[in-house]
Chains A and B, each alone.
Chain A
Amino acid sequence: MSAPLLSLEDLSVQFHGNRKASALNQVNLELGAGEVLALLGESGSGKSVTLRTLLRLHPASRTKIQGSIRVEGQDVLAMKGRDLELYRGGTVSMVFQEPGLAFDPVYTIGQQITESILAHGEKDVGKAKAQALEMLEKVQIPQAKRRFDAYPHELSGGMRQRAMIALALACKPRLLLADEPTTALDATVQIQILLLLRELQRETGMSVIFVTHDIGAAVEVADRVAVMYAGRIVEEGPVSRIVNNPCHPYTVGLLASTVGPEHRGKPLQAIPGAPPDLANLPGGCSFAPRCSRASAQCSSQVPPLVSGSGGRLACWNPVSQLENQ
């Protein structure tokens, strides 16, 4: 792989507002051009924070960010003013979980997409509008011309998410961040949106980071999976390896706690206990208090994320060894 499109080095994020939290702890991650990565993890593990930090969306006054984010060689944390504006939505853009909340309710869909295109360098309003309409057609919104002049509340959830995708892709980003893009939708619509995303990814060759709780969806669209726990990446590797041969006890628990055809007839298992308090993390491995394989070392030393042939793993007592893959 040549220079990666995205690389995170020791990225840490702390919130010090009313709610204090170490939401990300030394995250290291690389993503190549055209790669699709699924981020898995329980609620509160820091998936959304990771994506929002990539776009620098957290209020600066209440957030401390350490480490580095590089996209196409540019230092994202050092960006200012117009550079940052062009980067947001231009180089990297985002599809939000709730399309109903992520559109401005008092502007039409068409106005919002057009505005975004104009903000990224297009000067001609007519051309921007034509481009916006083209995007709506590209995401297969029927009667795109009519939907162009519709307000967000006049569309169904699925149509709104399509429009959101059109908006996110309007400026041809190199990296798309999708934060649970289908969670708010009906099951049938979920599949359509996933297929659409995959199709658009193949067509444009962009990279995608895709947050989901649905392992089936991850298998469907992703090349690689990274599993997060308490603001750390605990395991990462190709989809098939993670699904068939999970090494980290947390990944094993996460896979066992989701419904899938391979689990038919077996009891569904929940991981016992609850995620740790991010305001004061335990000294060693954050998962140790909930882990059946935990040893004395686990609760005193943070396991490093080590690379092997099957990806990366941070665990003192893995279920199976990474090298054996």
Chain B
Amino acid sequence: MIAYILKRLLYAVPIALSVTVISFVLVFLAPGDPLNAIAPADAPEEVITALKSAYGLDKPVPVQYGLWLWRALQGDLGTSIASGRAVAGEVMSAVGNTFLLAGLAAGVGVTLGCILGALAGYRSGGWIDRFASTLSVIGVSIPHYWLGLVLTIVFSIWLGWFPAMGAGPGGSEAWEWNWEHFRYLILPALTMAVIPLGIITRTVRALVADMLEQEFVVALRARGLSGRAVFQHIAKNTAPTVLAVAGLQIGYLMGGSILVETVFAWPGTGFLLNTAIFQRDIPLLQGTLLVLCLIFVVLNLLVDILQPLIDPRMGR
């Protein structure tokens, strides 16, 4: 088992390295000049050159990458061009906020998805099944910024139950564990929960319906096990696949929330990316991309390590 974990960790290293290259190079492929964002359009040539060398933009790209990677390894992601603050600090506080949002969304989506999927699988062809498949199609295909807008109109403008934007009372961006802050989390989290809900429902339904047809489930019944005991067996058999799918979904939630975070002005990584792109803030953009990609890599690594712990047929 230890050897397996070490092997997985080793595999993750080249992936992480390529991720750094991609995060770094991608930004250079995009059109536009970052200096436009800070220097006035009519700035004299000397000012531009000075700015360029201050941000290291005058060196060849591979050198820039090497320097950037070296600093990144030490936890220094540079300074944001727009705000002048350390990128690492900005990204970390955004990551914290996104973790909250994605965590709640994933919790709601995965839990409900498992329950609904299992019910639909057990009653395949029945009304719960039809309800669940309709819901999962909606969940997967509905544009979620649109859903976010609808939820805002209904729950904050008409009903006034939850705030429409921000992360805390009085525009505060620092999270606190109380109802006042939690209220801000509800609408964006619900909006984001819809996609994993749809996908997990569909996955679990298919797995459970298929499992119920399997000979070993018939055999479990033939042994006189109760419905609950049989369900435990089904749950343990479906867990590895559900875990893999859920891990992927959480990964997407961590990075794929640009639209929702922008709609709700939630100060997370998606919002930060959006800001960085519009302000052509290259260090901020690179830093955020890098951290998001690394989170994705780590999540996949976790799933890879957890799966064989549940399923004795895999790995080892």
Q: Is residue A130 within 8 Å, beta carbon to beta carbon, of the partner chain?
A: no
- Are A116 and B237 in contact, with the CB atoms below 8 A? no
CA distance A104 to B239 in the complex (A): 14
For B229, what are the chain A residues with a Cβ–Cβ distance below 8 Å?
Answer: 115, 119
Q: Majority SS of interface residues in chain B?
A: helix
Which listed residue (B219, B224, B225, B311) contacts A103, Cβ 8 A? B219
Q: A101-B216, A119-B229 are in contact. Are A90 and B313 (CB under 8 A)?
A: no
Residues on A with C-beta less than 8 A from B313 are 105-106, 151, 153
Q: Does B215 belong to the interface (CB within 8 Å)?
A: yes
Nearest B-chain residue to A81, judged by Cβ:
B226
Establish whether residues B312 and A88, one from each chain, have CB atoms under 8 Å apart when the complex forms.
no
Question: Is the Cβ of B222 less than 8 Å from the Cβ of A88?
Answer: yes
**Interface membership of B221, Cβ < 8 A:** yes
Q: Which candidate, A92-100, A189-197, A219-227, is the interface stretch facing chain B?
A: A92-100
Would A94 and B219 count as touching, CB distance under 8 A? yes
Report the Cα distance A190→B147, complex, angstroms.
Answer: 62
Contact of A89 among B215, B222, B236, B311 (CB under 8 A): B222
Report the separation of the CA atoms of residues A107 and B218 in the bound assembly, to the nearest whole angstrom.
16
Would you give the shortest CB distance from B168 to chain A, in whole angstroms? 44
Q: Does A316 contact B (CB under 8 A)?
A: no
Contact B233 A107 (CB under 8 A): yes
* A78 CB, nearest partner CB in chain B, Å: 17
Across the interface, name the chain A residue whose C-beta is closest to B240: A106
B67 at the interface (CB under 8 A from A): no
A104 touching B312, Cβ below 8 Å: no
Contact A85 B222 (CB under 8 A): no
**Cα-based distance from A94 to B236 in the complex (angstroms):** 23
CA distance A101 to B214 in the complex (A): 8
Within 8 A of A (CB), among B216-264: 216, 218-226, 229, 233, 236-237
Chain A residues whose CB sits within 8 angstroms of the CB of B215 once the complex forms: 96, 98, 101-102
CB distance from B27 to the nearest CB of A (A): 45
Residue of B nearest to A86 (CB): B224
**Bound Cα distance from A104 to B218, whole angstroms:** 10
Please tell me if A178 contacts chain B, counting CB pairs below 8 Å.
Answer: no
The residues of A that contact B236 with a CB separation of less than 8 Å are 104, 106-107
Chain A interface (Cβ within 8 Å of chain B)? 52, 55, 57, 84-90, 93-94, 96, 98, 101-108, 115-116, 119-120, 151, 153, 167, 171
Interface residues of B (CB under 8 A from A): 214-216, 218-226, 229, 233, 236-237, 310-313
A86-B224, A96-B222 are known contacts; what are 7 more A-B pairs with Cβ within 8 Å?
A89-B224, A101-B219, A102-B216, A104-B233, A105-B237, A106-B313, A115-B223
9 closest Cβ pairs, A-B complex: A89-B224, A88-B224, A102-B219, A101-B215, A89-B223, A85-B224, A151-B312, A116-B223, A94-B222
Query: Can you list 27 A-B pairs with a CB-CB distance of less than 8 A?
Result: A55-B222, A57-B221, A84-B224, A85-B224, A85-B225, A87-B224, A88-B221, A88-B222, A88-B224, A89-B225, A90-B224, A96-B215, A98-B215, A102-B215, A102-B219, A103-B216, A104-B216, A104-B220, A105-B312, A105-B313, A115-B223, A115-B225, A116-B225, A119-B224, A119-B225, A153-B312, A167-B223
